[in-house]
């Protein structure tokens, strides 16, 4: 009889990690029937794999970051959060009647839904780490869900968290790798880099309109960095999502606007938009090259990353890159988020300011960029820190194999 598994997750990073495990699992065990339930957002990571999605999905105003601003919860409730969640729970319970094992990635929400199905489950607590508080710091209900007999195995996002859970008597917790490091193979795209010149990556995030506002701040910062490094040149590569470089629907008629978000931001900030995503600032003779198809290559080739993102910053740290964060307006990339990310990722990450970045913050950041790139000892520490906090590639296949073993097919 064909075995069936369900992948549950609640958030962009959670979807990415779970989908990578799903992909590795399908490649090695194609005889198993798989399905997915993304609880937050549209679940595009699963859709790109053509994985069947068993319940309705919807993008809500908070983007899943309710914990960053409780006011966003009201917006989500007005947009149908309760009805959507009820439909998803019912779909999971129905699928669970004929399911052999569930892979639940995220926090208490997917774990609770997995528990409600009555089906055995594997937990990947990818949104939690003992690095945040230097100890296990999980809500009481989450710990109960992890201790449940239904929970067969617990995957953690780092070795330290597994060790801490083991010390609390939860022996089924283990670290088998962090899947997000498996999607960083360079694309081979020629970035046109000049050897020996410092290369700085700009990561504004992925969710519009926040990512557009973040990019505007990063372009202002690029000007200050050019001034700080003068007369010596520096090169910038911005890693954008496709939605930044595609025309948008706008207005009551839903007509297609002529400008892309990238072109709009460039115009507002005094940059000329040239072909192929190249931005030019005439007054400073400055260039920023923007790409939506070279994220891994940009990270690999960069000497330093300026990040206003979540998962992408984790990947940069995993590659041993120093990261400097500046604060945006949110809803995701606020100081609260940035500060938590510093605790999670350790010495590789520095944050300038505690409020949305001011002109003085940008000047201070430019100075810190130059200081960081000149600190050879610190740059070496970032490489070691990345291995400890994030780990090597290969996690997707290792987790998939352990999941298959729990299913009884490996």
Asked whether residue 189 is domain-assigned, the answer is: no
Tell me, yes or no, whether 150 and 44 share the same domain.
Answer: yes
Residue 319 lies in a domain: yes
pLDDT digits (tens, 9 = 90+) for 100-134: 999 999 989 999 999 999 999 999 999 899 999 99
In a domain, 97, yes or no: yes
pTM score, two decimals? 0.87
Name the β-bridge partners of 238.
202, 290
The pLDDT tens digits for 191-243 are 999 999 999 999 999 888 999 999 999 999 999 999 999 999 999 999 999 98
Residue 8: inside a domain: yes
Same domain, 58 and 151: yes
**Looking at the 3D structure of the chain, how many domains does it have?**
2
Residue 109 within any structural domain of the chain: yes
Put the strands of the sheet holding 173-174 in their side by side order.
Answer: 33-38, 4-9, 101-105, 121-124, 151-155, 173-174
Instruction: Note the pLDDT of residue 275.
Output: 86
Same domain, 205 and 163: no
The whole-number pLDDT of residue 258 equals 64
Task: Please give the residue range of the domain that contains residue 366.
Answer: 199-389
CATH number at residue 332: 3.40.50.2000
- Residue pair 51/7 in contact by the 8 Å Cβ criterion: yes
In a domain, 194, yes or no: no
Are residues 402 and 372 located together in one domain of the fold? no
Instruction: Kindly state whether residues 166 and 244 are assigned to the same domain.
Output: no
In this structure, the answer to whether residues 68 and 170 fall within a common structural domain is yes
253 and 345, same domain (yes or no): yes
On whether residue 192 sits in a domain, the answer given is: no
Token pair recorded at residue 67: 């914990």
Residue 193, in any domain of the structure: no
Residue 235 shares a structural domain with residue 375: yes
7 phi/psi in degrees, rounded to 5:
-105, 120
Let me know whether 136 and 241 are in one domain: no
Residue-wise pLDDT tens digits, 361-384: 999 999 999 999 999 999 999 999
The tens digit of pLDDT for each residue in 236-259 reads 999 999 989 887 655 444 444 568
pLDDT confidence of residue 186: 83
Domain identity same for 263 and 341: yes
Q: How far apart are CA 204 and CA 354, in angstroms?
A: 17
Instruction: Specify whether 56 is located in the same domain as 103.
Output: yes
Could you tell me if 172 and 244 lie in one domain? no
Cβ burial 115-150 (10 Å sphere, 16+ → b, else e) = bebebbbbbbbbbbbbbeeeebebeeebeebbeeeb
Write down the pLDDT at residue 11.
Answer: 84
pLDDT at 347 (0 to 100) = 97
**Cβ(244)–Cβ(262) under 8 Å?**
yes
């Amino acid at each position: 009889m064909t075995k069936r598994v369900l992948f549950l997750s609640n958030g962009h990073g959670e979807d990415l990690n779970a989908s990578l495990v799903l992909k590795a699992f399908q490649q090695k065990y194609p005889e198993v029937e798989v399905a997915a339930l993304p609880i937050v957002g549209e679940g595009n990571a699963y859709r790109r794999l053509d994985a069947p999605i068993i319940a309705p999905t919807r993008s809500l105003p908070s983007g899943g970051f309710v914990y960053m601003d409780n006011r966003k919860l009201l917006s989500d409730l007005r947009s149908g959060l309760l009805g959507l969640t009820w439909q998803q729970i019912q779909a999971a319970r129905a699928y669970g009647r004929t399911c052999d094992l569930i892979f639940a990635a995220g926090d208490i929400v997917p774990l609770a839904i997995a528990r409600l199905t009555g089906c055995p489950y594997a937990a990947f607590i990818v949104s939690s780490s003992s690095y945040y508080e230097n100890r296990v710091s999980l809500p009481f209900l989450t710990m109960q869900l992890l201790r449940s007999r239904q929970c067969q195995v617990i995957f953690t996002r780092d070795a330290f968290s597994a060790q801490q859970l083991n010390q609390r008597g939860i022996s089924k917790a283990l670290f088998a790798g962090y899947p997000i490091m498996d999607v960083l193979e360079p694309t081979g795209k020629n970035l046109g880099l000049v050897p020996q010149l410092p290369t700085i990556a700009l990561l504004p995030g992925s969710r519009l309109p926040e990512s557009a506002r973040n990019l505007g701040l990063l372009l202002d910062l690029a000007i200050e960095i050019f001034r700080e490094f003068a007369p010596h040149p520096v090169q910038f590569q911005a890693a954008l999502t496709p939605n930044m470089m595609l025309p948008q629907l706008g207005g009551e008629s839903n007509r297609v606007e002529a400008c892309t978000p990238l072109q709009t931001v460039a115009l507002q900030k005094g940059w000329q938009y040239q072909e192929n995503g190249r931005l030019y600032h005439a007054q400073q003779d400055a260039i920023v090259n923007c790409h939506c198809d070279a994220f891994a290559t940009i990270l690999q080739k960069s000497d330093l990353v300026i990040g206003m993102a979540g998962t992408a910053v984790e990947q940069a740290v995993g590659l041993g890159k120093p990261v400097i964060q500046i604060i945006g307006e949110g809803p995701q990339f606020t100081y609260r988020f940035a500060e938590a990310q510093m605790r999670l990722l350790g010495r590789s990450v520095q944050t300038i300011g505690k409020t949305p970045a001011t002109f003085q913050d940008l000047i201070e950041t430019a100075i810190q960029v130059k200081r960081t790139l000149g600190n050879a000892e610190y740059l070496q520490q970032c490489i070691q820190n990345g291995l400890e906090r994030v780990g090597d590639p290969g996690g997707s296949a290792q987790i998939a194999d352990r999941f298959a073993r729990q299913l009884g097919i490996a």
